[in-house]
Amino acid sequence: SYNKVNGTHACENSGLLNRDLKGVMGFNGFVMSDWGATHSTKAVTTGLDQDMPGGGVMGDKLFLATQLMVKYPVATDEAVVRILSVIYKLGLDKSSGCKPPKCLGAMMTSVRSKDHTELAARAARRSI
């Protein structure tokens, strides 16, 4: 996130990401930054797994990935495992690579499905 919590950018806040989100709340997915919200490569050690949109601070070039692996090997391995776990769990590794606008119809059908709209309405009611 772009915001700071107690003086630390949210996407680099170990207390929020590691202690609270992953520890207390038991979140086992991967954490992705807001676009352009990452401020240092050290963010990978504070619980951030993916810098968006890529090419930013953590970079999308192989040498930057290699630098991360050398400088923060355990944190980088953990981030890769979390990201790949979601990819394999959802079967995205077997996906045809469909991207909008080619998949717009399927995406809109899913987003507007009865289950999805009921879930969104329930979440909205509970948040008030």
Region 105-118: mean pLDDT is 81
**Confidence at 52, pLDDT banded by 50, 70, 90:** confident
Active site residue 34: yes
**Confidence at 18, pLDDT banded by 50, 70, 90:** very high
- Report residue 127 as tokens: 């948040």
> What pTM, to 2 d.p., does this model score?
0.66
**Confidence at 2, pLDDT banded by 50, 70, 90:** confident
Beta strands in the chain (DSSP E): 4-5, 8-9
Angle (deg, nearest 10), helices 73-89 and 62-71: 120
Between residues 16 and 63, which one has the greater pLDDT? Answer: 16
Looking at 34, 49, 77, 115, which residue is catalytic? 34
For the chain, the distance separating the N- and C-terminal CA atoms, rounded to the nearest angstrom, is 22
Is the bond preceding 101 in cis, omega lying within 30 degrees of 0? Answer: yes
